[in-house]
């Protein structure tokens, strides 16, 4: 019975240590988030004035890429099925 009590005590101590660490880490992340938000410029102002970096491709390019992708996938499926039947 003494071994069981020692095991439960160690389990509670370990879980308490992990819980305390997670609470401290959560508080630290929240603190650093607020600190960095105060020191950085407003994200909305910079995002609206900057042009879109990744403008979508023209619809024709997108359709061509989809056609190539379908062809590659179809060839891969056919090869897989052919090797599987052997």
Domain range for 29: 1-39
Domain count, the chain: 2
Residue 52, domain member (yes or no)? no
Residue 69, domain member (yes or no)? yes
Residue 45, domain member (yes or no)? no
pLDDT of residue 58: 59
Segment 5-48, tens digit of pLDDT: 999 999 999 999 999 999 999 999 999 999 988 887 765 555 55
Q: Shortest CA distance to 76 belongs to which of 62, 68, 86, 61?
A: 68
């Amino acid at each position: 019975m003494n071994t069981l009590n020692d095991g439960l005590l160690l389990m509670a101590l370990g879980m308490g240590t992990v819980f305390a660490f997670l609470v401290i880490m959560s508080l630290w992340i929240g603190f650093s988030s607020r600190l960095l938000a105060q020191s950085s410029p407003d994200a909305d102002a910079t995002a609206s004035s900057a042009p879109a970096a990744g403008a979508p491709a023209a619809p024709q390019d997108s359709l061509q890429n989809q056609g190539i992708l379908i062809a590659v996938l179809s060839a891969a499926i056919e090869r897989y099925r052919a090797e599987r039947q052997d």
